[in-house]
Chains A and B, each alone.
Chain A
Amino acid sequence: MSELTLGYFLRRLGMWLLTIWIGATLIFTIPRLAPGDPITAMVERMIQQAGYIENSADLIEAWRARFGLDGPWHVQYRNYLLSMVRVDLGYSLANFPARVTDIIGRSLPWTLGMVSIATILSFGAGNLIGALMAWRRVPAFIRNILPVSLTFTSIPFFMFGILLISFLAFKWKIFPAFGNYGRGVEPGWNLDFILSVLHHGLLPVLSIVVTSMGFWALGMRGMMVTTDGEDYMILANAKGLRSRRIFWFYGIRNSMLPQVTALALNLGAVAGGSLLVELIFGYPGLGYFLYQAIISADYTVIQGIVFMLIVGVATAVLILDLLYPMIDPRITYSKGQA
């Protein structure tokens, strides 16, 4: 059995590497297919700003070499992949001495915290709502009220965010519209800071949770309706198990599995959508710095952030995949089911 588990682990690890490799290759290929060249464009912009730069051609050549943009494409590609493996994402073009990894290191924890809390909350709430919607022992009036909570499903996260800002932050001034923690609050493990972070993080989290939980609810409802027709549910009933026990340990337990798969498949979309949420709320995570990089045409930062995002999502999927055999004990024993 342990051999099979190792095989499963290696297969999943292979998927992880493949995803990151495809992502890295896309990021490498796209800019090279596009007309123009970022270094030339940057030097031209500097010329516009400074009026005149001596030996601009030499400068372009020197920078090309510095950023690994010289030489034939396969050499560039090899160097690029090697630097990705070493997590060396180079320097920011717009703020030269700053390393891309430093910018990402500063912003990644905020994105990671905000997005993972929002995803867990929306996944949990959505699945519970969906399960209750399909559970016939729930009073009918509650079942009829539950779909109301799905009103904002399918609206882009950031659009709901705009609505939240305009009402809760500008009109009624209950929540701050901007930033990750208040001014004059000392970062650290003190109550003021934690409260301030929660206060600032609530609206971004809410805009993701409210707009995405309906997706989980509908999936869960469908699974629950199917599960409810299974023989073991009838048997559990016949055994005289309490309704609550059947709901959690027979209904939800079995309906959960495809939902976890769906979660793994949708993490990419959630991460993409959260980029815009951060921008709308001025939340200094990856999305915010990505936007700054787009404005200043900071190509290395754009590539670095997108690469980091792909790695992050792939890693989250890998973790989910590795946890999966624990939720579904059937999966490790047989290779065919994996």
Chain B
Amino acid sequence: MSVATAAPANGSQDSARRGLNTWDSPWLNFKFLLGLSMIAIILLMAGAGPLGLYDTTRARVASAPLNLPPVWTNIDNPFFGEPDPEYPLGTDSDGRDLTAVLLVGAPRSLHIGLIAAGAGMLIGVVLGFSAGFIGGWWDAFVRTISDSIITIPALAVLIVISAFVKNLDVVILALLLAAFAWPGPTRLLRAQVLSMRERGYVQMARLSGANTFSILFREMLPNMLPYLAASLTGNVSGAILAATGLEALGLGPTRIPTMGMTIYHAMYVSALFRGMWWWWGMPIVALVIVFTGLFLMTVGLDEIANPRLRGIREQ
């Protein structure tokens, strides 16, 4: 293989072949859009109850017949009821309609993740920017603290918290999760600020007399948007992971149905042994959609931020 073919081939010939038109925007990344639409579907599910499309009050205990399998199944077991089109995804042993549980619970999980990751991101932006720009002892301090917090297993500490504080509020849980979601964005932003600080356009802005604040937020921040977004979706996923873990241990908020809590109920009464796969299966399917959607968004955003990742070209 010669040197010429081994060198990365991108740039001129690629753009010439594909042509630069309006559809060539890096934001039209397939993975990103696929992930985004998966998340959008989950978010839209929240509208089903308030819009009267589905009776979501049946997510409560004893609001539906017990042990109905999903409507498309044909299970020959006298213990279960007959599938009923009224309850498409079946019901559990406590009389919850799993369709309603899903419609209420799945958007709720995203909700927790968004609050936690958003708050964590806000802290990360402030700390990362200030550490990268001020430098010195403050930088060393922020870096040391974030490096040590990042190695503490968040789930374990949250377990201690929820073991002591019964009936966690959703917002409080989200903020507790945020307490562990900031070191990631902080590290990322600090590194980005350090590398951008010496770039031409930042020097230019400084020479033009722009103040620090406007350099940070007008010049640097827009350039970091894809990185920030990738970090945010990654953090949403991490927060939901921790929240679901807590719920699956029976330690999450108990007033509203959540996906992790449904798994907890199912495990608690050994739905696994009793063959009630839809009870633990439905929340898993919903969470897989959430996690895969966020994952695809993160990967897509990474590719938007870093063109090199968009794939290796055949030569």
Taking Cβ atoms with an 8 Å cutoff, the residues of A that contact B are: 15, 18-19, 22-23, 26-27, 30-31, 34-36, 38, 134, 136, 140, 153-156, 158-159, 162-163, 165-166, 170, 218, 221-222, 225-226, 228-229, 233-234, 237-238, 243, 264-265, 267-269, 271-273, 275-276, 279-280, 290-291, 294, 297, 299, 302-303, 305-306, 309-310, 313-314, 317
Contact = CB atoms under 8 A, between A and B. Distances in A.
B309 A279 contact: no
Given A155-B287, A272-B153, A294-B249, A162 B163 contact: no
A150 to B, nearest CB: 9
A173 to B, nearest CB: 13
Given A158-B245, A302-B159, A314-B151, 11 more contacts: A19-B151, A34-B164, A34-B165, A159-B263, A165-B272, A225-B309, A226-B308, A229-B308, A269-B155, A272-B245, A317-B151
Contacts of B287: 155-156, 159
Contacts of B145: 22
B159 A26 contact: no
Contacts, number: 163
Nearest to A290: B159
B244 to A, nearest CB: 6
B309 A222 contact: yes
Interface string B82-107: 00000000000000000000000000
B213 to A, nearest CB: 29
A291 B308 CA distance: 45
Nearest to A295: B250
Contacts of B160: 26-27, 30-31, 302-303, 306
Given A221-B309, A291-B249, A294-B159, A154 B295 contact: yes
B8 interface: yes
B6 to A, nearest CB: 5
B306 A222 contact: yes
Contacts of A299: 163-164
Q: State the 5 A-B residue pairs at the shortest beta-carbon distance, nearest first.
A: A272-B155, A272-B153, A154-B295, A19-B148, A34-B164
A163 B246 CA distance: 19
Nearest to B7: A234
Interface string B275-315: 00100100010011001101100010010001011001011
Contacts of A306: 153, 156-157, 159-160
Contacts of B165: 34-35
Given A272-B156, A306-B157, A162 B151 contact: no
B291 A156 contact: yes
19 contacts: A19-B149, A23-B152, A27-B160, A30-B164, A136-B312, A158-B248, A162-B263, A218-B299, A225-B309, A233-B6, A237-B1, A271-B156, A272-B242, A276-B155, A294-B250, A297-B163, A303-B160, A310-B152, A313-B152
Contacts of B238: 269
A269 B181 CA distance: 11
Interface in B141-170: 144-145, 147-157, 159-161, 163-165
B231 interface: no
B258 interface: no
A294 B163 contact: yes
Q: Please report whether the interface of chain A is mostly helix, strand, loop or mixed according to DSSP.
A: helix
B3 to A, nearest CB: 5
B241 interface: yes
B163 A310 contact: no
Contacts of B163: 294, 297, 299, 302
Interface in B126-150: 144-145, 147-150
A143 B149 CA distance: 37
B273 interface: yes
A238 B148 contact: no
Given A170-B273, A271-B156, A302-B163, A18 B245 contact: no
Interface string B209-225: 00000000000000000
A309 B164 CA distance: 18
A297 B164 CA distance: 9
B315 to A, nearest CB: 7
Contacts of B249: 276, 279, 291, 294
Interface of B: 1, 3, 6-8, 144-145, 147-157, 159-161, 163-165, 237-238, 241-242, 244-245, 248-251, 263, 267, 272-273, 277, 280, 284, 287-288, 291-292, 294-295, 299, 302, 306, 308-309, 312, 314-315
Contact of B245 (A140, A165, A276): A276
A154 B237 contact: yes
A225 B156 contact: no
A31 B164 contact: yes
Contacts of A272: 153-156, 242, 245
B280 to A, nearest CB: 6
B245 A268 contact: no
B141 to A, nearest CB: 11
Contacts of B6: 233-234, 237
Contacts of A291: 249
Contacts of B251: 294
Given A234-B6, A294-B249, A225 B308 contact: yes
B157 A27 contact: yes
Given A154-B295, A234-B3, A297-B163, A273 B152 contact: no
B268 to A, nearest CB: 11
B132 to A, nearest CB: 16
Nearest to B308: A225
Contacts of B244: 156
A310 B292 contact: no
A102 to B, nearest CB: 20
Contacts of A226: 308
B284 A26 contact: no
A153 B248 CA distance: 19
Contacts of B164: 30-31, 34, 36, 38, 299
